[in-house]
């Protein structure tokens, strides 16, 4: 009887030792290729995510630089009345909207590239909006409109050049981003004179949006001044 009990105890000890050995062996086994691959892919995805965020920041900064440069080029062509070269900057699908005041009417006069090309030769009279104060229609030829609501000050000598200005300078609502939600704008501001109580200030906003090819193109020329 004692021999039987002793043998049974030895068997229990052997089974316990064997089980513990197998567990230790499993814990020390190298990870499978599938497991390692999953971890590597996870690390790779995290790295790519960080790079994408960084690239987005770079793209935004690069876009600002590109737009500022294009705005200067457009301003130069406007000063020179070089309509032919100006067409190269016009949005091919949307054309260019002309707004005499900062509040942009979605139905404002808009010229496609071909009409922009003839901007200074066009003798047709258009209704560009309503005159501030009187409410009378602004009925002018493109050349007349240019003199009064496009290049009506020395914008090439602007006192301030502002990218994506948010606030209006006067009492007119600034709604450029509402009409063109995917746009960026560059404002050229010329301060007023003391003899006129600084109320004769002017500003010209050049608005850009991407075309189908991802190029920043001119979609609006928005004039701004003191209004009643």
Cβ(161)–Cβ(189) under 8 Å? Answer: yes
Domains of the chain in start order, with CATH, are: 52-225 (3.10.450)
Single pTM value for the model: 0.75
Based on C-alpha coordinates, what's the Rg of the chain? 35
Model confidence over 106-143: pLDDT tens digits?
999 999 999 999 999 999 999 999 999 899 999 999 99
- pLDDT per residue, tens digit, the chain (228 aa), is 444 554 545 555 455 545 545 444 444 444 444 545 545 555 445 545 444 444 445 588 999 999 999 999 999 999 999 999 999 999 999 999 999 999 999 999 999 999 999 999 999 999 999 999 899 999 999 999 999 999 999 999 999 999 999 999 988 999 999 999 999 999 999 999 999 999 999 999 999 999 999 999 999 999 999 998
Residue 90: other Cβ atoms inside 10 A = 23
């Amino acid at each position: 009887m004692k021999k039987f009990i002793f043998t049974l105890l030895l068997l229990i000890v052997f089974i316990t030792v064997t089980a513990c050995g197998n567990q230790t062996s499993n814990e020390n086994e190298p990870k499978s290729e599938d497991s390692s691959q999953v971890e590597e892919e996870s690390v790779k995805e995290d790295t790519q995510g960080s790079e994408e965020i960084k690239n987005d920041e770079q793209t935004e900064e690069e876009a600002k630089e590109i737009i500022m440069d294009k705005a200067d080029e457009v301003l130069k062509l406007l000063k020179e009345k070089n309509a032919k070269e100006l067409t190269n900057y016009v949005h091919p699908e949307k054309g260019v909207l002309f707004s005499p005041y900062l509040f942009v009417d979605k139905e404002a006069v808009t010229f496609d590239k071909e009409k922009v090309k003839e901007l200074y030769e066009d003798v047709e009279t258009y209704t560009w909006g309503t005159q501030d104060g009187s409410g009378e229609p602004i009925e002018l030829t493109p050349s007349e409109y240019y003199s009064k609501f496009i290049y009506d000050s020395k914008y090439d000598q602007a006192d301030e050049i502002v990218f994506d200005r948010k606030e209006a300078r006067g009492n007119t609502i600034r709604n450029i981003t509402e009409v063109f939600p995917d746009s960026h704008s560059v404002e050229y501001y010329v301060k007023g004179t003391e003899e006129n109580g600084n109320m004769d200030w002017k500003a010209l906003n050049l608005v850009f949006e991407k075309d189908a090819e991802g190029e920043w193109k001119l979609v609006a020329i928005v004039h701004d001044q003191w209004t009643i």
